[in-house]
Structure 1
Amino acid sequence: MSDNVLWIITDDQPRATLERMPRTWSRLVQRGVRFDRGYAAMPWCGPARASMLTSRYPHHHGCSTNQTHAPFVQRGLDQDTVATRLRAGTDYDTGYFGKYMNGLSRDPAYVAPGWRRWVTTVGSGGRVNVDGENRELGSQRAADRFALDRLTTYLERQADSGPWFAVWSTSTPHDPYTPSRRHRDDFDGVRWDPPALNERDMSDKPSWLRDLPPQDRARMREVHEGKLEELQDLDDQVARVLDVLRETGQHERTWIFFVSDNGYLLGEHRLFRKEQPYEESAGVPYVVRGPGAAPAVSDALVSQVDLMPTTLEIAGLDPDAGRELDGRSLLAPLTTGDWSGWRRRLLVENTNLGWAMLREGSHVFIDHHERGECELYDLATDPHQLDSLQGADVAGWAGPLGRLRSAKGRALRALEI
């Protein structure tokens, strides 16, 4: 029997918070492959989810704003996703549970092609779409709990049937922060003082950033606390899902991918939230556990666009059949441990704000191409991106990045090598 695949997608989770989830850390992270250099295709909820489902970078799928659902459907992108390929080419069952894309509230009866089971949250008011029928549950927390309950029921029912692919997309730890009674005091007073918080010398930053006022330090600490406490609830929920897989005998034949749609800035470089090209925003937690993948910590450059081709190859499909994908399958290096043929450089972009980022070696080159400004950091000596390398020859970085942000499919992947 073919292996099952589960994607767990969190919402606005900074990469560094993963280790504050003890059960997820011990049962998933330490038993899988953790990527220290995992990145969003675009660090913003809607465009990132479009990239995951289609293995297209934002310059390829064209959904540049956070109200992604309408253009995604209008452009026919929902007709060729990881789910439609699996349903057309394999005997895989498919199910989607939780948050889909921003803008779904304007199309509340929508059911995306390729998903046999569809339980999605609609907006943030507590409504859910169950296979095209809406139900009012009263709160986002209730809607998230409903989606999780339906996921676990789905997993239990799949125990004795064919292979399945499921997405569990939680709204945790997105604001507003409403941790359960059990965890709402777990991180009271937690310290928040990263080196880049309210960076003092902004002279090396793009001109539009230099006059930003400092963020409210107490507010940033409060948000950090809220995220950590909500993540304790998610930690319990991940453990519940893992328990179901073990109790139904499916854990040894199920691949689990744990990622976030984007990271989150909490005052670093005087910035708040996401969308920006710095590590706290563009970097995401990225973990894979599956049959034959030895536990490891990898420095391979991986992206959200790699989820779809990896899943298709697990299912026995050619990822490029019908349309060449922008991402790469992780399957071979995950099972062999040999990353020698993997990409050397990686693109991250924001087609809405007009910047693109090239990650290569220890360096990060950021081209604010619509503003005519750029930044270059060596993370080996400056991990918090406090000092852009002034006077550096950026021509050698701008050329490869410019070619990447206009390429797609095999041509894009060739440029990564």
Structure 2
Amino acid sequence: MPLPHTVARRKFLLGAGAALGATAAVGLTRAGAAAATGVRRPGSRPNVLWIITDDQPRHTLPTMPRTWKRLVRRGVRFTRGNVAAPLCGPSRASMLTSMYVHNHGCQDNETMAEFNGQGLDQDTIGTRMTQAGYTCGYFGKYMNGYSDSPTYVAPGWQRWVASLGTVSHEVNVAGRVRTVDMHVDQFATNQLKRWLKRRATEAAPWFAVFAPTNPHSDGWKVDSYGPSTEHEHDFDGVAWNPPALNEKDMRDKPSWMQDLPFQRRAKMRAAYEGKLEELQDVDDQVNAILNRLGKLGMLDNTWIFFVTDNGYMLGEHRLAKKETAYEECVGTPFVVTGPGVRQGSLSQKLVSTVDLMPTTLEVAGLDPEAGRPLDGRSLVGPLTTGDWSGWRTRMLTEHPLKSWAHLREGNTVLVDHYAAGEQEVYDMAADPHQMSSLHATTDTAAMTARLTALRNASGRTLRALEM
């Protein structure tokens, strides 16, 4: 017999489906460093929490009832939020630095060695928030390639609890590797809750990242998932039949895709079931963290961002993977709540995960323009005033290792497979599942030129090209 919460979750899924749509301050005192980075607003400052899931397709967000109720309904949900790159390591590097992949250069998924080798870990959201006087904690998955340096602690984080894999029970706690007797996501949740309780006795504001490994499959097996015993049967037999599943006519797709075999429907359905069930564990963990914030009286003074590192394809266009330029991969659930943010609103503005860092810096009272130029934009003004004039009208997503770049302008998406000399063009209003590319009948010269300029630009120049 299903548990009551299982029934509630299934009812929620049916109802919501329609709504889819240990280090210190790197050589500076906190006061001195804050001045050096351009602090603009003294006094009591809001806290900030990033929640970054792993391999979560945007369309799965409504299956998380507590997250939906407590974050989506209390904030802004963006239906056109994209990751900088649809691959875990490069995507996380972009979040930490507000740099697109062509600027930070970490293209491969085993990212950390290259990231650290370039010294990029010396100037991240963690170091800047620490320099601004925030107490910073990282809890969960950090960056791919981490297991090669399992005792590493990134600069800028006063509390460090980082999982070493999606299957392993090993966790780096303040530079020491521990084997824990529970799922690493639950361990990270417990550690974050304890850390938050200690923050209640301090005057300094805090910044935290909660990065669960779920809903990532176990290893590289598409249909291998390990939800908790509480949720392992929540979505037994759930249907999975999206319009693009095993697309029949692939003549409009790039040449490398045209002869792809069909994916096994049963395997794709099982993978979908596993993802949804693992997301119920994430849903519980998010709820527990929000409960702790509420009990500590912190919830109303905390900005919360909910995103993923990349989406995932489960048979759409005959693909079972990330790394492609389709909406299932490049799209992220993107939700923001915070003081002054309009509750329960929906936005079609173009936002990217490179926007997390500049937004967080402005929340902290910092000038995002001080120091190294950032590729992203701060959402603080638009979210609190409702004035989106001057916001980007085109947005880049890219995968330099696979030699493609993706440009969104209004309802139009151009994918330029520049090494192969092939393109795709979609009208996302008329064809949201990207079944019929219009490249053969569309003059893409001007749009291609804009996309090429974006994927070769950085900082202010890149942001000017978005207009």
- Match of 1:23? 66
User: 4+ runs of 1 displaced by more than 3 Å?
Assistant: none
Select the residue among 303, 322, 325 that pairs with 1:255: 303
CA distance in 1, matches of 2:117, 2:227: 37
CA distance in 2, matches of 1:170, 1:26: 20
User: Secondary structure at the residue paired with 1:119?
Assistant: strand
Report deviation, 1:160. 3.0
User: Secondary structure at the residue paired with 1:273?
Assistant: coil
CA distance in 2, matches of 1:269, 1:410: 36
- Match of 1:322? 371
Quick check: 1:158 aligned with 2:173? no
Summarize deviations over 1:8-51 as a string: whole Å, max 9, x none: 00000000000000111011111110000010100000000000
Summarize deviations over 1:318-337 as a string: whole Å, max 9, x none: 11211110000000001011
User: Secondary structure at the residue paired with 1:71?
Assistant: helix
Which blocks of at least 5 consecutive residues in structure 2 are unaligned? 1-43, 219-224
- Match of 2:441? 391
Paired residue type of 2:371: G
- Match of 1:67? 110
Quick check: 1:244 aligned with 2:285? no
Summarize deviations over 1:312-367 as a string: whole Å, max 9, x none: 00001111211110000000001011212210000000011000000010010000
Quick check: 1:44 aligned with 2:87? yes
What is the Cα-based RMSD across aligned positions, in Å? Answer: 0.8
Q: TM-score, normalised by structure 1?
A: 0.98
Summarize deviations over 1:236-277 as a string: whole Å, max 9, x none: 111100100000000010000000000110100011120000
Q: Which stretch of structure 1 is more off in the superposition, 389-398 or 244-253?
A: 389-398
CA distance in 1, matches of 2:364, 2:373: 17
Quick check: 1:143 aligned with 2:184? yes
Which blocks of at least 5 consecutive residues in structure 1 are unaligned? none
- Match of 1:365? 414
Report deviation, 1:137. 2.2
- Match of 2:276? 228
Quick check: 1:115 aligned with 2:172? no
CA distance in 2, matches of 1:182, 1:78: 38
Q: Which stretch of structure 1 is more off in the superposition, 174-183 or 240-249?
A: 174-183
Paired residue type of 1:267: G
User: Secondary structure at the residue paired with 1:292?
Assistant: coil
- Match of 1:85? 128
User: Identity of aligned pairs, percent?
Assistant: 60
CA distance in 2, matches of 1:13, 1:310: 22
Report deviation, 1:391. 2.0
Report deviation, 1:143. 2.0
2:392–2:466 CA contact under 8 A, matched in 1: yes
Quick check: 1:282 aligned with 2:339? no
Quick check: 1:406 aligned with 2:456? yes
Paired residue type of 1:167: V
CA distance in 1, matches of 2:152, 2:229: 34
Report deviation, 1:144. 1.9
Paired residue type of 1:326: D
CA distance in 2, matches of 1:185, 1:122: 27
CA distance in 2, matches of 1:82, 1:98: 16
Report deviation, 1:86. 1.4
